[in-house]
Structure 1
């Protein structure tokens, strides 16, 4: 069991509705007239990412494969997601993770702000980078079941292709977000179904009942 799990830090993370409420509060506090460029840029990302995640929620319906995989979960799981609302990847894929978690009473989703939990983030780096969102699923006893993120495999390949194409980071990001806008985020559904199903197939019978992982 990781020390941070024993300390209950994932358990004390934000539920998805609380995460969204905190996001809207930040949106309701626009930068002042004398705010520096970084603050203005952050608010810009918060605004557009809110619109992106809303579009995903409006258009997404979990696949039958994901519904079936979630239904087969027998034992309580805690899904910890490290992320931030300014993250473009997260705007597209976190809604899918949240929808997937909601399909099973056995799953408790908790969100930890990455920048407030860098010591945890540093245990789940991607090629040495603090890339988000990062999902880590645990048993109620702190055993790691699976990880996912920060983006679907197809999106990761597309990002690598664009890195070779663009010298300017903003040009890369703009074209990469087009990949998500065109539906690239839907790959998340299939990959989550595969992760969940793999865990179910290798698990042994255990106690059942709704997840009770709050503190």
Structure 2
């Protein structure tokens, strides 16, 4: 288990959720796609789609009453650190929920850390040796790690492993993943 106060020394830059979304919007609005190679264009298109997904969730998600009560009842300060990237489809489907929940309690400080800019941080939170994201790590007011979650719910992780074992290729796998 890591200590946030020590990790903070390694983090190149922390972003608020608003900063993260603004950076993503700026990227979408200011990128000349005619200059992108095939791989970068694919990543750009994922990012654009993810922005739309995130914005939809932001507009429609209302936390269930019991969950909202639980979050608002937290009296101690916490830092919720999410390791992610804006091209990540799983993040687009999860980060807006995390942000909405964090907004419910002023004791929660949500910070976004970009995976690719912070390899030392990501390397501390590998999933089966891979740099899978998003990862949510919750720390108490002293920086002690309380728990981590991610990159996906356990049930979905199992389903993905089964699909990979069956030889389902990436495009079909991604489609099934986003329909889940």
Task: Give the alignment's TM-score, normalised by structure 1.
Answer: 0.76
Tell me how far 1:34 sits from its aligned partner.
Answer: 3.9
Aligned pairs for 1:1-215 within 5 A: 1=3, 3-5=6-8, 7=9, 9=11, 13-179=14-180
- Determine the C-alpha separation between the residues in 2 that align with 1:149 and 1:165: 23
Q: For the residues of structure 1 that align with 2:28 and 2:116, how far apart are their CA atoms?
A: 18
Q: Distance in 1 between matches of 2:94 and 2:176?
A: 17
Alpha-carbon spacing, 1:68–1:117, altered in 2? closer, same or farther (3 Å): same
The Cα shift of 1:136 comes to 0.6
Deviations, residues 28-52 of structure 1 (Å, cap 9, x unaligned): 1234424211111111011111111
Specify every segment of 5 or more residues in structure 2 that has no aligned partner in the other structure, as ranges. none
Deviating above 4 A after TM superposition, structure 1's stretches of 4 or more consecutive aligned residues are none
Question: Within 2, Cα distance between the matches of 1:32 and 1:97?
Answer: 31
In the alignment, the residues of structure 1 paired with residue 159 and residue 123 of structure 2 have an alpha-carbon distance, to the nearest angstrom, of 25
Please give the per-residue CA displacement for 1:148-200, whole angstroms capped at 9, x wherever unaligned.
Answer: 11112232232223222334222211222121xxxxxxxxxxxxxxxxxxxxx
CA distance in 2, matches of 1:81, 1:41: 24
Q: Does the 8 A contact of 1:83 with 1:112 survive in 2?
A: yes
Once the two structures are TM-superposed, the CA of residue 64 in structure 1 deviates from its matched residue by 1.7
Which TM-score applies when normalising by structure 2? Answer: 0.90
Q: CA deviation at 1:125?
A: 1.0
The RMSD of aligned alpha carbons is: 1.8
Please tell me whether the aligned partners of residues 10 and 120 of structure 2 are also in contact (alpha carbons under 8 angstroms). no
